[in-house]
Amino acid sequence: RKEVEQDPGPFNVPEGATVAFNCTYSNSASQSFFWYRQDCRKEPKLLMSVYSSGNEDGRFTAQLNRASQYISLLIRDSKLSDSATYLCVVNMYVAYKYIFGTGTRLKVLA
């Protein structure tokens, strides 16, 4: 089983739609969780850290479910500019490294 798993997609959604991605992780000792956005042939950029209580940043909401070992990202009112690959990242700070999912590709259609 992979340490971090994501549905690769692509998720094709119309502008204005709400879309949600899940990411599962295998190690219950994981301590920190992040969502990154990566555009084609560019570096990943931090979208949100994910906190235990859940957090929201504008149209983006992230949730953590430790019991089921997954994190989620919800995007409301999708924009064309949201088209990108979304990477789930978890860490075990004991191991001092980040574990990256392979990413979920989102295409927002006009």
Residues that bind another protein (CB under 8 A): 4, 31-32, 34, 41-46, 49, 87, 89, 91-93, 95-98, 100-103
Contact, 25 vs 68, CB < 8 A?
no
- Identity of the residue, 33 or 61, whose beta carbon is nearer to another protein in the bound complex: 33
How many angstroms separate the Cα of 57 from the Cα of each of 16, 47, 73, 90, 98? 17, 9, 11, 19, 23
Contact, 77 vs 59, CB < 8 A?
yes
Q: How far apart are CA 39 and CA 31, in angstroms?
A: 26
Q: Please state the closest distance from residue 102 (CB atom) to another protein, in A.
A: 4
Using alpha carbons, select from 87, 91, 102 the residue that is nearest to residue 29.
Answer: 91
Q: Please state the closest distance from residue 32 (CB atom) to another protein, in A.
A: 6
- Identity of the residue, 17 or 92, whose beta carbon is nearer to another protein in the bound complex: 92
Q: Please state the closest distance from residue 67 (CB atom) to another protein, in A.
A: 22
- Identity of the residue, 63 or 85, whose beta carbon is nearer to another protein in the bound complex: 85
Q: Please state the closest distance from residue 89 (CB atom) to another protein, in A.
A: 8
